[in-house]
């Protein structure tokens, strides 16, 4: 009875206000407030009809063997609009889909510069742009989940942008022309440096459930099983499947964590997990032993995870490894000698050269991709550094390097916090938290062995983002897991509320939609 009186009174007030409103106000009320859903449907139908008619008009003089590309432009535009609407409405599902794309569709659009703008790169930038639009324009509030990594991440992003501008202003005269000529390449490098940390923030804020984490983790382990079997059986993995970068480390760590700590797994799943670890350990040490950055990170995560699980098992593993070394001592010595000849001395020279260059641009560096062009003009003999730490200090200077290190130390702190918050009685999460801790340590080491976390465009290309982005995704996952555990702890501490509690909701004057009394959800 009270609700009916309130609704009638509200309708009268609304009609009185509507009579005094302008034409624009009446139209806004009728189309956007009163009949919002119907208006959207009609506009979409009209848009589809317009695209169809436009395509028909453009294709009227075309043939299958002629130029019909321009007739597809409206269709592509329509698909683009649909993608934008989907991403804007499904941020968490977008996070999962982009992760799947990084593993299975590592391909993109050629730029004419010998590299590609991949689907992952485009998807991340679209997602970031739409999220920023929502925060600034729609919500009018920058609200992100609190984390000790947020401030150093924002500082690093600002330094990258400042370094890009600074390096253009204070560039050496002989290098200035090539900076202008390669503006696109330098801009794309800057975007790569920026989008990677932003990805960690986006995953930290848009992973909203343990179910999403399970989908991502088990999908990567599944890909590890399939790709590993393909690599052993055929000797290669078909494109556009992606096993580059630190893929063996991530797959091996996730699978081993579940194998040893997730007691809820069925026996055949445990066998599959063991097969994944065994296959990739064989691939990295048996088939690619001379590639240090391939087997060292994987070995680090295995040692850490096994040590946490059982020191006795670690001792057995060490004895097995020692026996393998003794049996294959001669071939191992040949492999290490070849690696030292090909990469050891060369990389030492490259690091020294890059650091010497950084001394001349110590404050803010020579900008994204900048030191490559200095090398080109001044005829440096050394190769590029193949070292993330040196790349960062050469591109963003001592200031950027400091922010970068603080950012990764903050990620480490969030991993430790996640480790203490996640309970050991949850098999899946127990295994995952061990894996993430081990991978953070191994990632810090791997950044010395290659540009596996912030890909340099003239060594990995822009498509390096497809595998470098995993490091940032899993850091974001660790932060999200902290918040999920804190929320769960808060819910567990709340007192029980009886099922007969009701919530009376008053109708909104702005929306014009009637709302009935509904029992509140427990």
What average pLDDT does range 212-224 have in this prediction? Answer: 97
| pLDDT value, residue 510 | 38
**pLDDT, average across residues 60-86:** 69
Q: Which pLDDT does position 499 carry in this prediction?
A: 41
What phi and psi values does residue 193 have, to the nearest 5 degrees? -65, -30
Total tally of structural domains belonging to the chain: 1
Q: Which pLDDT score is estimated for 338? A: 62
Calpha distance 436→304 (Å, rounded): 11
CA 440 and chain centroid, separation? 15
Mind giving me the DSSP string for 6-52?
HHHHHHHHHHHHHHHS-HHHHHHIIIIIISHHHHHHHHHHHHHHHHH
Asked, for residue 99, whether it belongs to a domain, the answer is no
CB 241 within 8 A of CB 104: yes
pLDDT at 17 over 80: no
The residues pairing with 110 across neighbouring beta strands, listed in sequence order, are 116
Looking at 63-67, 84-88, 128-132, 155-159, which range is the least confident one? 63-67
Q: What are phi and psi of 179, to 5 degrees?
A: -65, -40
**Predicted model pTM:** 0.83
The string of pLDDT tens digits covering residues 378-425 is 876 666 778 999 999 999 999 999 999 999 999 999 999 999 999 999
The 10s digit of each residue's pLDDT in 363-389 is 999 999 888 898 888 876 666 778 999
Dist. CA 271–CA 265, nearest whole Å = 10
What tokens were used for 19? 């009579």
Residue 410 to residue 398: CA distance in whole angstroms: 18
pLDDT attached to residue 431: 97
Q: What mean pLDDT do residues 223-233 have?
A: 96
Does residue 195 carry a pLDDT above 90? Answer: yes
pLDDT at 497: 41
Q: Is residue 184 included in any domain, yes or no?
A: yes
How would you classify the pairing of strands 502-503 and 116-118?
unpaired
pLDDT for the residue 512: 40
Residue 303 falls within a domain, yes or no? yes
Greater pLDDT, 116 or 442: 442
The per-residue pLDDT for 278 is: 93
Residue 255 lies in a domain: yes
425 against 347, higher pLDDT: 425
- Arithmetic mean of pLDDT, 479-493: 85
Average pLDDT over residues 474-489: 93
Does pLDDT of 518 surpass 50?
no
Q: What one-character-per-residue DSSP string does 303-370 give?
A: HHHHHHH-HHHHHHHHHHHHHHHHHTHHHHHHHHHHHIIIIIHHHHHHHHHHHHHHHHTTTTTT-TTH
Query: Sorting pLDDT into bands at 50, 70 and 90, what band is 15?
Result: low
Q: Which of 40-44, 79-83, 241-245 has the highest mean pLDDT?
A: 241-245
Q: Return the pLDDT at 520.
A: 39
| Neighbour count for residue 406 (Cβ, 10 Å) | 17
Mapped onto helix, strand or coil, the DSSP state of residue 288 is: coil
- Rounded Cα–Cα distance for residues 339 and 360 (Å): 31
- Between the alpha carbon of residue 51 and those of residues 44, 169, 388, the distances in Å are 10, 45, 47
Looking at the chain, the whole-number percentage of residues with pLDDT higher than 90 is: 50
Q: How much is the average pLDDT of 473-484? A: 97
pLDDT range class, residue 35, cuts 50, 70, 90: confident
Asked if the model's pLDDT at residue 504 lies above 60, the reply is: no
Dump pLDDT digits (tens) for 451-463.
889 988 888 888 8
Q: Helix/strand/coil (H, E, C) string of 360-419?
A: HCCCCCCCCCHHHHHHHHHCCCCCCCCCHHHHHHHHHHHHHHHHHHHHHHHHHHHHHHHH
Least confident piece of the model among 14-28, 86-100, 252-266: 14-28
Would you state the pLDDT for residue 354? 83
What does the pLDDT read at residue 386?
Answer: 83
**How far does Cα 90 stand from its chain's mean position?**
16
> Per residue in 259-310, pLDDT tens?
999 999 999 999 999 999 999 988 987 766 656 677 889 999 999 999 999 9
Q: What does the pLDDT look like over 106-152, one tens digit per residue? A: 988 877 666 788 999 999 999 999 999 999 988 888 889 999 999 99
Give me the pLDDT at residue 76, please.
75
Range of the domain at 333: 126-488
CA distances to 6, 14, 23, 33, 513 from 508, rounded to whole Å, are: 11, 10, 21, 10, 7
Q: Is 427 part of a structural domain of the chain?
A: yes
Contacts 24+ apart (CB under 8 A), 316-325: none
In a domain, 300, yes or no: yes
Mean pLDDT of the chain: 83
**Does 519 score more than 60 pLDDT?**
no
User: How confident is the model at residue 44, as a pLDDT?
Assistant: 74
The stretch 488-500 carries a mean pLDDT of: 57
pLDDT above 70 as % of the chain: 77
d(CA 403, CA 157): 9
State residue 503's pLDDT score: 39
How high is the pLDDT of residue 137? 86
- Inside any domain, residue 47: no
Residue 110 has a pLDDT of 77
Note whether residue 411 is domain-resident: yes
């Amino acid at each position: 009875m009270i609700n009916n009186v309130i609704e009638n009174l509200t309708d009268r007030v609304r009609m009185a206000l509507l009579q005094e409103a302008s034409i624009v106000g009446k139209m806004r009320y009728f189309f956007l407030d009163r009949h919002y859903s119907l208006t959207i449907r009609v506009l979409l139908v009209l848009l589809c009809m317009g695209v169809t008619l436009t395509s028909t008009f453009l294709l009227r003089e075309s043939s299958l063997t002629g130029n019909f590309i321009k007739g597809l432009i409206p269709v592509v535009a329509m698909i683009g609009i649909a993608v934008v609407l989907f991403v804007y409405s499904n941020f968490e599902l977008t996070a999962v889909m982009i992760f799947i794309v990084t593993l299975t569709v590592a391909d993109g659009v050629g730029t004419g510069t010998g590299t590609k703008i991949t689907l992952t790169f485009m998807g991340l930038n679209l997602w970031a742009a739409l999220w920023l639009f929502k925060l600034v324009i729609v919500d009018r509030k920058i609200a992100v989940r609190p984390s000790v990594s947020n401030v150093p991440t924002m500082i690093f992003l600002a330094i990258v942008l400042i370094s890009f501008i600074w390096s253009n202003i204070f560039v050496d005269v002989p290098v200035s022309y090539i900076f202008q000529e390669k503006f696109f390449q330098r801009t794309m490098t800057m975007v790569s440096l920026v989008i990677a940390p932003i990805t960690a923030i986006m995953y930290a804020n848009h992973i909203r459930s343990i179910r999403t984490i399970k989908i991502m983790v088990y999908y990567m382990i599944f890909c590890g099983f399939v790709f590993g079997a393909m690599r052993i059986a055929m000797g290669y993995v078909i494109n556009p499947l992606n096993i580059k970068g630190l893929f063996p480390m991530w797959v091996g760590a996730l699978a081993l964590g579940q194998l040893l700590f997730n007691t809820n797994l069925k026996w055949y799943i445990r066998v599959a997990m063991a097969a994944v670890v065994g296959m990739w350990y064989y691939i990295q040490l048996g088939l690619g032993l001379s590639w240090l950055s391939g087997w060292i990170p994987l070995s680090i995560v295995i040692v850490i995870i096994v040590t946490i699980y059982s020191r006795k098992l670690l001792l057995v593993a060490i004895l097995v490894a020692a026996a393998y070394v003794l049996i294959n001592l001669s071939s191992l010595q040949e492999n290490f000698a070849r690696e030292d000849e090909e990469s050891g001395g060369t990389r030492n020279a490259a690091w020294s050269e890059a650091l010497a260059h950084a001394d001349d641009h110590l404050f803010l560096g020579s900008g994204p991709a900048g030191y490559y062009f200095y090398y080109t003009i001044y005829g440096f003999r050394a190769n590029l550094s193949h070292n993330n730490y040196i790349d960062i200090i050469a591109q963003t200077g001592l200031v950027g390097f400091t922010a970068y290190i603080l950012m990764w130390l903050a990620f480490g702190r969030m991993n430790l916090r996640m480790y203490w918050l996640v309970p050991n009685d949850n098999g899946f999460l127990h295994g995952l938290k061990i894996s993430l801790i081990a991978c953070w340590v191994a990632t810090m080491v791997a950044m010395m062995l290659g540009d596996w976390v912030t890909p340099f465009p003239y060594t990995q290309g822009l498509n390096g983002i497809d595998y470098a982005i995993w490091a940032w995704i899993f850091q974001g996952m660790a932060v999200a897991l902290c918040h999920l555990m804190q929320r769960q702890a808060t819910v567990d501490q709340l007192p029980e509320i009886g099922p007969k509690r009701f919530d009376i909701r008053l109708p909104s004057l702005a929306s014009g939609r009637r709302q009935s009394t509904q029992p509140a959800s427990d």
